[in-house]
Structure 1
Amino acid sequence: MSGLKIQDLFVESRKYPLGVDAHKPSFGWSFQETRRRGAGQSAYRIIVTTSVDNLAANVGDMWDSGVIGSARCTHVTYDGKPLRSSCRYYWKVIVWDDAHVQTESTVSWWETGLLRSEDWVGQWIQAPRDADAAATQFRHEFTLESSIVRARAFVCGLGQYELYVNGNRVGDSVLNPGWTNYDKTRLYNVFDVSTKLSHGANAIGILLANGFFHVAGGRYSKFKASFGTPKCIVQLQVEFIDGSKMTIASNGNWKCSPSPIVFSEVYGGEDYDARLEQTGWSRPGFNAVHWLNAFEENDSKAVLKSQSIPPVKVMERFSPVDITETRPGIYVVDFGQNFSGWVNVVVRGKAGEELVLTPSEVIQDGLANQRHSGSPYKWQYTLKGTEKEVWAPRFSYYGFRYVQVEGLVPSRFAGEQNGTGSMLSIEGEMIYPDIDVKGEFQSSDPMMNRVHEIINWSVLSNMKSVFTDCPHREKLGWLEQTHLLGPAVMFNYDVESLLCKVVNDIRDAQLPNGLVPSTAPEYTVFEGTYHHFRDTVAWGIAYILLPWFLNQKYGNHSILSEHYEGMKKYVEYVSDQSDNFIVTGGLGDWYDVGENPPGYAQNTPVELVETAMFYHMVEVLGQVAASLGHSADCNRYEALKQSIYAAFQKAFVHTHPFVIGTDSQTSNAIPLVLGLLSDYQQGHALKHLAADIERTGYRITAGDIGHRFVLLALANHGFSHIIQQMVQQTDEPGYGYQVIHGATTLTEAWGGPKIGNSQNHFMLGHIEEWFYRNVAGIDYYFDKKSEQFHIDVRPEPGSHLGWVRAYHTLRPGTVSIDYKEHWEDQISLKVQIPANTTAVIHIPADSRAQVLERGMPLAETEGLSFIKMEGPYAVVSVGSGEYYFTSVKHEQRRMTSERA
């Protein structure tokens, strides 16, 4: 019998990472897909060394865990000798399966960052205080006297920067570093520049722009705020073949000069004057006689941390689907897809000619309309007059589908405009993190597939170093979408490190009194009459829920203890602010659908929504406390939870006649899902909810907060057939309305793609969770007791789907389902379960006898155990392997589910 096959190794959930600054990093590994049934890990041994030779000899000179009897394969914490800064460590894992067969991984490694503040010898530098530049260039020359073995550049540039070595840009990531509260945390990036350096003269350059560090305005701006003058710190560490080392660090001897970027604002756009280029500025030998010395600043108020999230890059490119002249000298480029990013242009013309590019989501009267996405915003390029010039913005992106072109003529029209420069080509460049795709959903229903697509275009458009609400007007990290959409996003992408950063951003944003603001990083403060935009439990609850999600879905237990005190502090704040356990302020069910235009909640009492969220976060914090072994806190939160329950019942649940709140969809759905109703009340609330949706023609009226709970309430109680109707209906409001009216991303309001709405928000994409969790039937959690992931497969395709296919990759491996309907009432369900997991599979059937696995009765099938009949399902327990079930279809069967 062959043993387990190890696929990939991870340190801090990354493969071969540079710059890990965790003193006790976590290890994990995945397994290759296997058809072997019941393959599980019974023990592991991790060996960490300073050399490949030691690793081959199993000499753990840094750490040898010994043989640990455990199935855990994620978030195993390093427990060896203290790690040193900027060092490479090698490691491997040896695992034993349940039959005690041993398997050894390949060699992997990670490199540490600068683990202690004293390891930084570079100084913060900035342009002189009287310098006036939208973006500044810094440079420094140095000589290397020996052959290079290894070189790493540690760089933080605030707000955003690009690194150059010997005239070449280093790396292809953009918008570095990630956005944070710069007074508390600043992220640095680590680059391998070994092949960029050479024996002899070398030069290093930094192009530094404003980003969110310095939002000065000048065109459109959501707000104006500044953390100070843009600055950078650089430390280049070089190791030579003879074993010697050298450090090149930023200081006041570095030179600086204004760059060709003459305007750079995160909200307003970017202007570039190519006539101001200084050829060779980042190469050795450049004449910098007119450059000024950088100003050296002693700035130690924030902690420098290595950036652990995936780098943002240009990930998609779009060619125009159409270019039209809408007015004399004005051209509109249509890329056919709304996305976030910028354009890359190739132009030709005379020096001083200008190309003005105005991006927009919609066109009105032949012109770009930015009224509801942030105006004015533009990119502008001034030509230097060479044969061909290639340009793309670097530091300012927008959400758009169209670009209005002025000043130069697109090449297809060039013959009509003699004497005017030409835009030879234009390409849309979409930017988002270079993130691992972890799932896919497809079905026989085109509407479901299209809704899935437009939601994911919106998710990627709003995924940067934070989850933004929109990629144009605000670009802020509104927190409600992270916990409401988090479960859906986790099905599609590996967002563990990004969500960990969000949690850290929340910690940095938390006020001394415990309040968690609704945005993190909190770049603008909502005060006075707008205080409810800052202090709202339905947003702040993200600080409680996100760590719990990370624990449940990734097995990340350390994040609970790391943030437990801050989580407690927020609950105490809300409790103190409540009026006899009723939360009286906040936004409630923002952007619901009613008689008035969307915005403030109009269907459901704000107090009902906010108090229900208060109850939910106390319940989850009690689970966190139990997981951490804080029994006294458990008892305290249980008592608080019961007090909130009683207050909620008294304030919002009425019996003669039975009504919850205002009887809106949200009023019924939220308490149904969160356990705020008795069994008797649940039945009434469910009837009211279903009746309201059917009465309105399967239209949604819930808003930003309530929508997910409407879907969960219906799905959890066997009403997925109603959700299917909601998806299919094409009247306003609804997903189908957006699809048939040409939306290519999810729009802000249910009214869909029309002038007056943002065309690229992902806050209403909750249906994505239902696609995976209910239609495909994939759910899972990390079980702390067994130290394994447990999978629940329960497909609910409904009566109108001929097939459903989906997969999701957990930390140990990939679970997939392939459901099909066949002729003569036959159905098939193919399920792949990854190694080192357990699973329960629900096969649609009216009886155990109807189900066969590869043509054999369940009783005669190896590797599975029949548990029971549960409604319209035969339920079996399995381990890893590939399973192929057949059963009988009944047209009138309604798939039911009882998930919480």
Structure 2
Amino acid sequence: MFKIKDLRCEYQVNPIGLDQKTPRISWRLQSSERAAMQSAYRIEVAEDADFQRSVWDTGKVDSDQSVHVELKGLQTASRKRYHYRVQAWNQHGLSSGWSDQAIFETGFIDSSEWSAEWISAPAAALPAGADQVPMFRWDFLIDGEVSAARVYASALGIYELELNGKRVGDHYFAPGWTSYKHRLQYQTYDVTELLSSGKNGIGALLGSGWYKGVLGWDGKNEHYGNRTALLVQIHIDYADGRQEVIVSDNSWKVSGSPILMSEIYDGETYDARLERSNWSREDYDDSGWYPAGVIEQSKDILVAQENVPVRKIESIQPIELITTPKGETVIDMGQNMVGWIQFTVQGDAGQEVSIHHAEILDHEGNFYLDNIRKAKQTIRYVLKGGERETFEPHFTFQGFRYIRLVGFPEPIHLEDFTGIVLHSDMETTGEFTCSDPLVNQLQHNIRWGLKGNFLDVPTDCPQRDERLGWTGDAQVFARTSAYLSNVVPFFRKWLHDLKVEQAELDGGVPFVVPNILSEKAQSASAWGDAAVIIPWTLYLCYGDKRVLEEQYDSMKAWVEFIRRQGDNEYLWNSGFHFGDWLALDSRPDSYIGATARDFVATAYYAYSVSLVQKAAAVLGRSEEAERYADLHTRIIDAFTQEFVTPTGRLSVPTQTGQVLSLMFGLVEGEAKERAVHKLLELLEEEKFHLTTGFVGTPYLNHVLSDNGKSEFAYKLLLQQDYPSWLYQVTKGATTIWEHWDGIKPDGSFWSPDMNSFNHYAYGAIGDWLYRVVAGIDTDERNPGYKRVVIRPMPGDGLTWAEGRIDTMYGEVSCRWTKSDEERLDIQVVIPPNATAEIRLPYAPADGVTESGTALMQSEGISNVKVTDMGVNLEAGSGQYSFSYVLTQPVPPLPKVKPFVFG
């Protein structure tokens, strides 16, 4: 059995509205034999489902490429549907036959194709500065049978559309948050089934969103403009070949809506008595509404939707009704989540109920709101009266586990309240489980940190008056997120905004993207390095060379910005830096760790230059690759002269200092040995607890494992007292905290000025769980899991662990089980058209079996070699089951031995 499945275009299944001039196709192979490889492929593109009007055909191409295959030479036209299919041949020359067909459909290839006008609520309908959300509507005539209809829409603000009384699409917070001065997304919706012959009605709600609403802790609004606006263009194709275009213009009508206020931080106020039945239907009387105003706004900045949309992903039912010591009525959802509450209530007309949202109860069990700062996170609902009324908000989201009810009639029924989880609809790709339930809860918390903070942009926290795209937070979590979900569309869109937000003159990168802070809030080490680290991470995890092509100038501009700083182009010893943010070795009343900031800055400088050098080599820019390789060497020399003593001791005696120097390859020889030993000493001084912050924590366990000290990494992972990852779990955390001691051992809280209980940065330990404990990695020379690296590292404290990731080629998984007899069983899955390098830890030269067969006789396995770490081998695709008795016990936690010079 050999066939093709799961056709994708630009990571999507049957996408519509693309504006890519050269789309890319990916597919997966399915085979019943081991070591299955593709030897050739053929792609055909046609204008019809029967492939009678073929417009592009590769013919048979001798290649094993099955992901990101560019449709070079295909001249895509706007608003056109293309059908495509793929055929492949395996290594034996066997054909798969044609795959099932798939489609992709273009949107507007050129912005000049927009004929709609930007419309806004006139002052007569809603005075300037009014909080009330406007509603727009218009009627139009369908004259004949519709074969296809598309709505193309965008907004200055965030919008919801209706056609003939039904919601258009399932997107929320569209068009998303971009750098509005440079880029603005539009969405494409297939509305063929929503239209009918005769008169039709269209309606829209338009919220302030990120465009006009309050953003940041200073309470400022109108960062991008003081008027929201809507843009809608409907293209109708009739069965008889005619085409018609319906556009937004001043013939549309506007009125105030029942939404009296809807703000991202503050929540929503809704008066159900103001509802207008059937307002988006064709027969609604809008004679009392006002003509829409037309405003000037460029359409040149419009781009097709790049990110996956925010959607309702799942629902959560409450677990407990609580009366607090203060006598307040509180519901526990059982999970710190992001989204909103859908509720049902019955009462008198004009009666008001409200819901307040919090992440935590205080140590006395009372509702705790101090850590959300100025954000109100409150839903107010005025009943229309009579029957039971069900409501959920529109243009706001909350971060919460607990809700406080005010004004709700007794008795309270938990079934009347449902938590609706919203986030960018990224495809889930990874799973990690093990024998320790606390570590499994940690993995749960890491995943929910992603769910709560990947809402159109990678936010820092979803509950307080911030929710900004902090660059440093995003880069430290990027690799972990790429195990959990397919994050390319999400990050690609955000990186495009980062690129246009970079300072034109010097290449500096803002602290947050999109940037709503001051122009001076830019260019800190580890934060600005997101411009380099995230593109490289996406290339590494998905093999997506186009990401590097699109971001290379941005990557280069960032390292050139650093090079021009200060008085030494090989050190970064000037400017503001966050340093090892929130490290536990910080001075009292300081957020910045004890690791010298110029040390952190120069270390990251070296790391980013090394990645730019690699990117240049991948892109065939050999001269630049050589230049950045030379620059990297000079930076390391300067680093050594500045921070390493003649005897090989680092001048920065902190955990993070040792971690960065080792992780980024800044020390060699005796200096490296001393750094490893010093790190172990520092850990022992803290009774094997970490003191690292945002900068050191993501790499700490990796450094230990990379230097043969995995037992120390396991010790750190499995600690349950403060400070540790599992300490949070023992305190009932269901997401990752911003501070190691967000809740202190005595039950008190960290300062409320910055204490999020849903903050993904320290969730970066997830990378180590997948890459080292489960042992799943990719070869940098053949990225995107084209060549899989399987190197599980069993550790004391776990009896089994399993990781799985759904790659571009298919599922990769590794499970190991350690028995009492010190026997190790390892199950591995490698997808077709990929190969693997597998290391069997502590395996003997003889005595390893695979599926009950001697290793050397097993199909699909080759190049078996014995090393100091065990047995290394190469394998083709398939399922493998290895079993053997360990040559040595898994190391328990040892004592730190005195360092011996020489």
- What amino acid maps onto 1:75 in structure 2? H
Within 5 Å, give how 1:304-323 maps onto structure 2: 304-323=302-321
Once residues 64 and 24 of structure 1 are traced to their aligned partners in structure 2, the CA distance between those partners, rounded to angstroms, is 14
Deviation for aligned residue 1:856: 2.0
Once residues 220 and 470 of structure 2 are traced to their aligned partners in structure 1, the CA distance between those partners, rounded to angstroms, is 14
The structure-2 alpha-carbon separation of the partners of 1:700 and 1:489, relative to structure 1 and needing over 3 Å to count, comes to same
In 1, are the aligned partners of 2:718 and 2:797 still within 8 Å (CA)?
no
Once residues 60 and 223 of structure 2 are traced to their aligned partners in structure 1, the CA distance between those partners, rounded to angstroms, is 54
The structure-2 alpha-carbon separation of the partners of 1:157 and 1:598, relative to structure 1 and needing over 3 Å to count, comes to farther
CA RMSD of aligned residues (A): 2.2
Deviation for aligned residue 1:224: 6.0
Once residues 669 and 216 of structure 2 are traced to their aligned partners in structure 1, the CA distance between those partners, rounded to angstroms, is 58
Please give the TM-score of this superposition, normalised by the length of structure 1: 0.94
Residue 418 (structure 1) aligns with: none
In 1, are the aligned partners of 2:586 and 2:592 still within 8 Å (CA)?
no
Once residues 636 and 722 of structure 2 are traced to their aligned partners in structure 1, the CA distance between those partners, rounded to angstroms, is 36
Residue 484 (structure 1) aligns with: 476
Q: Does 1:281 align with 2:279?
A: yes
Q: Aligned residues: percent identity?
A: 33
Within 5 Å, give how 1:11-22 maps onto structure 2: 11-22=9-20
In 2, are the aligned partners of 1:502 and 1:520 still within 8 Å (CA)?
no
Within 5 Å, give how 1:204-603 maps onto structure 2: 204-216=202-214, 221=219, 225-300=223-298, 303-326=301-324, 330-364=328-362, 367-375=366-374, 376-412=376-412, 425-473=416-464, 474-526=466-518, 531=520, 533-580=521-568, 581-583=570-572, 584-585=574-575, 586-594=577-585, 596=587, 600-603=591-594
Deviation for aligned residue 1:547: 1.7
The structure-2 alpha-carbon separation of the partners of 1:728 and 1:124, relative to structure 1 and needing over 3 Å to count, comes to same
Once residues 676 and 365 of structure 2 are traced to their aligned partners in structure 1, the CA distance between those partners, rounded to angstroms, is 48
Residue 767 (structure 1) aligns with: 765
- What amino acid maps onto 1:510 in structure 2? Q
Once residues 501 and 64 of structure 1 are traced to their aligned partners in structure 2, the CA distance between those partners, rounded to angstroms, is 30
Give 1:102's match in structure 2, choosing from 89, 95, 110: 95
Q: Does 1:123 align with 2:111?
A: no
Give 1:654's match in structure 2, choosing from 645, 648, 668: 645
Give 1:74's match in structure 2, choosing from 67, 76, 88: 67
Give 1:872's match in structure 2, choosing from 869, 873, 882: 869
Q: Give secondary structure in 2 for the equivalent of 1:710.
A: helix
Once residues 222 and 591 of structure 1 are traced to their aligned partners in structure 2, the CA distance between those partners, rounded to angstroms, is 26
Q: Give secondary structure in 2 for the equivalent of 1:763.
A: helix
Within 5 Å, give how 1:181-192 maps onto structure 2: 181-192=179-190
Residue 28 (structure 2) aligns with: 30
Deviation for aligned residue 1:128: 1.2
Deviation for aligned residue 1:308: 2.8
The structure-2 alpha-carbon separation of the partners of 1:410 and 1:22, relative to structure 1 and needing over 3 Å to count, comes to farther
Q: Give secondary structure in 1 for the equivalent of 2:699.
A: helix
- What amino acid maps onto 1:589 in structure 2? D
Deviation for aligned residue 1:302: 5.0
Once residues 240 and 251 of structure 1 are traced to their aligned partners in structure 2, the CA distance between those partners, rounded to angstroms, is 23
In 1, are the aligned partners of 2:850 and 2:881 still within 8 Å (CA)?
yes
Once residues 804 and 222 of structure 1 are traced to their aligned partners in structure 2, the CA distance between those partners, rounded to angstroms, is 48
Deviations 1:241-273 (A, max 9, x none): 111111111011111111111112112211111
Once residues 435 and 326 of structure 2 are traced to their aligned partners in structure 1, the CA distance between those partners, rounded to angstroms, is 46
Q: Give secondary structure in 2 for the equivalent of 1:525.
A: coil
Once residues 865 and 700 of structure 1 are traced to their aligned partners in structure 2, the CA distance between those partners, rounded to angstroms, is 41
Please give the TM-score of this superposition, normalised by the length of structure 2: 0.93
Once residues 166 and 327 of structure 2 are traced to their aligned partners in structure 1, the CA distance between those partners, rounded to angstroms, is 37
Deviations 1:692-714 (A, max 9, x none): 11221221111001111212211
Deviation for aligned residue 1:357: 1.1
Once residues 824 and 673 of structure 1 are traced to their aligned partners in structure 2, the CA distance between those partners, rounded to angstroms, is 35
Deviation for aligned residue 1:735: 0.8
Once residues 259 and 46 of structure 1 are traced to their aligned partners in structure 2, the CA distance between those partners, rounded to angstroms, is 50
Q: Give secondary structure in 1 for the equivalent of 2:62.
A: coil
- What amino acid maps onto 2:557 in structure 1? K
Once residues 808 and 788 of structure 1 are traced to their aligned partners in structure 2, the CA distance between those partners, rounded to angstroms, is 10
In 1, are the aligned partners of 2:9 and 2:25 still within 8 Å (CA)?
yes
In 1, are the aligned partners of 2:501 and 2:510 still within 8 Å (CA)?
no
In 2, are the aligned partners of 1:410 and 1:424 still within 8 Å (CA)?
no
Once residues 408 and 95 of structure 1 are traced to their aligned partners in structure 2, the CA distance between those partners, rounded to angstroms, is 62
The structure-2 alpha-carbon separation of the partners of 1:829 and 1:175, relative to structure 1 and needing over 3 Å to count, comes to same
Give 2:879's match in structure 1, choosing from 861, 882, 888: 882
- What amino acid maps onto 1:648 in structure 2? F
- What amino acid maps onto 1:799 in structure 2? D
Within 5 Å, give how 1:591-740 maps onto structure 2: 591-594=582-585, 596=587, 600-656=591-647, 658-740=648-730
Residue 420 (structure 1) aligns with: none
Once residues 301 and 610 of structure 1 are traced to their aligned partners in structure 2, the CA distance between those partners, rounded to angstroms, is 40
Give 2:803's match in structure 1, choosing from 797, 802, 806: 806
Deviation for aligned residue 1:600: 2.9
In 2, are the aligned partners of 1:125 and 1:294 still within 8 Å (CA)?
yes
Residue 829 (structure 1) aligns with: 826
In 2, are the aligned partners of 1:826 and 1:888 still within 8 Å (CA)?
yes
Q: Give secondary structure in 1 for the equivalent of 2:486.
A: coil
Q: Give secondary structure in 1 for the equivalent of 2:604.
A: helix
Q: Does 1:113 align with 2:107?
A: yes
Once residues 218 and 380 of structure 1 are traced to their aligned partners in structure 2, the CA distance between those partners, rounded to angstroms, is 23
Q: Give secondary structure in 2 for the equivalent of 1:704.
A: coil
Deviation for aligned residue 1:524: 2.0
Q: Give secondary structure in 2 for the equivalent of 1:386.
A: coil
Deviation for aligned residue 1:652: 1.3
Greater shift after overlay, 565-574 or 174-183? Answer: 565-574
Once residues 366 and 216 of structure 2 are traced to their aligned partners in structure 1, the CA distance between those partners, rounded to angstroms, is 22
The structure-2 alpha-carbon separation of the partners of 1:224 and 1:165, relative to structure 1 and needing over 3 Å to count, comes to closer
Greater shift after overlay, 581-590 or 517-526? Answer: 517-526
Once residues 301 and 203 of structure 1 are traced to their aligned partners in structure 2, the CA distance between those partners, rounded to angstroms, is 25
Once residues 623 and 269 of structure 1 are traced to their aligned partners in structure 2, the CA distance between those partners, rounded to angstroms, is 46
- In structure 2, stretches of 5+ residues that fail to align are 894-902
Q: Does 1:142 align with 2:135?
A: no
- What amino acid maps onto 2:740 in structure 1? W
Give 2:163's match in structure 1, choosing from 162, 165, 173: 165
In 2, are the aligned partners of 1:794 and 1:843 still within 8 Å (CA)?
yes
Deviation for aligned residue 1:327: 6.9
Residue 419 (structure 1) aligns with: none
Greater shift after overlay, 106-115 or 721-730? Answer: 721-730
Once residues 397 and 170 of structure 1 are traced to their aligned partners in structure 2, the CA distance between those partners, rounded to angstroms, is 20
Deviation for aligned residue 1:209: 0.2
- In structure 1, stretches of 5+ residues that fail to align are 414-422
The structure-2 alpha-carbon separation of the partners of 1:434 and 1:614, relative to structure 1 and needing over 3 Å to count, comes to same
